[in-house]
Amino acid sequence: MKIRDIRFGMLRVPLKTPFKTALRTVEQVEDVVVMVHTDTGHVGYGSAPATAVITGDTHGSIMEAVRHYIAPRLVGLEIANLSRITHLIQGAMEKNTSAKAAVEIAVHDLWGQLYGAPLYKLLGGGDPVITTDITISVDYIDKMVADSLAAVDRGFESLKIKVGKDIGLDIERTKAIHAAVEGRALLRLDANQGWTAKQAVFALQTLEDAGVKLELVEQPVKAHDLAGLRYVTERVHTPVMADESVFGPREVIELIRMRAADIVNIKLMKTGGISNAVRLADICGMHGVDCMIGCMLESSIGVAAAVHLAVAKSDVISKVDLDGPSLCRHDPVAGGVLFNESEITITDAPGLGIRAIDGLMPLALATPA
């Protein structure tokens, strides 16, 4: 099975409600879909959203990176030589992690198809059923409480509360939601870099003193501020998780050296795909650091790959935040991974198991026809 060409598509899926964080507001998922075609007629699917405020990647930059730097290195290569392919993808250029991730996901899909096994079994096996949290977007307090109660009624047992816009309101939001769902759901706070280190300590200590128990707080300070992250970690009882501070193995080694956080959030769009995500999980496992598997606001194509990784690395990845498909009005992807509210199940289909993608708009070839 050799790579013949690489093609693009665009997939747009409306959200049930606008997705609001301290950094942005989004009303629909918009993914560049990468399709790797082989000489045997097989197709591997990968995808990447534009997350300029996080990774620096836009739809245009993703496609240009694949077209001019990644795809020319891969045409004619055997899918069986996966390590060589991922090495070439990662070495094609600096940064551009979303573009690398989209191609790596598609290649891993084909790798599973080549050997007739779902991807998670080739990555290490495990129980093909996991449970995710769901995100509660920043909004008026009454709206956030109502959204939280609705999520609990739908069966979600972990809620990720978006904060980071106004420290006083953030505290009141969290108290109100905690009072509404106490005993029915765990709360995770995600500040999306919206606080200073001192603000984070003040907010978290205030909540702790008020009896609000949080499962974790995610990325309370700016991504580059590891010293600030450590400042928070050393002064609160709530576990602190690094997200935007960690893209790949180099950052996680420094984070662990500094003891700057208790948990690491792995996202394929940050790591550049599955190969570096596996390395990151292994490094954390060696040092006894728990991980969460997360995703951007993206379709179930890329999220499916993250599900396979989470299952295969469940000894290290103890927390799951893969709610992208649950936030969409519908799932346009048929086959592979089944998203049913909080429960996510992998089928026995080879690779990612994708059979069809409804509403996929074909774009240009990434490689010459």
Q: Which residues are catalytic, by number? A: 162, 267
**How far is the C-alpha of 48 from the C-alpha of 329, rounded, in Å?**
19
Which single residue is written with the structure tokens 């009005």?
A: 329
* Pairing state between β 343-346 and 129-131: antiparallel
Query: Which of 20, 25, 44 is CA-nearest to residue 34?
Result: 44
**How far is the C-alpha of 38 from the C-alpha of 78, rounded, in Å?**
9
**How far is the C-alpha of 31 from the C-alpha of 289, rounded, in Å?**
31
Ramachandran quadrant class, 41 (left: phi over 0; alpha: psi -120 to 50; beta: rest): left
Query: Which of 167, 241, 163, 238 is CA-nearest to residue 208?
Result: 238
Query: Which of 238, 236, 261 is CA-nearest to residue 251?
Result: 261
Cβ pair 300, 326 in contact under 8 A: no
Q: How far lies 353's CA from each of 111, 202, 301, in Å?
A: 12, 47, 10
For 294, the 3-state DSSP assignment is strand
Cβ pair 175, 204 in contact under 8 A: no
Which helix (H) or strand (E) segment holds residue 58: the answer is: none
* Pairing state between β 317-321 and 3-20: unpaired
Assigned token pair, 184: 């029915």
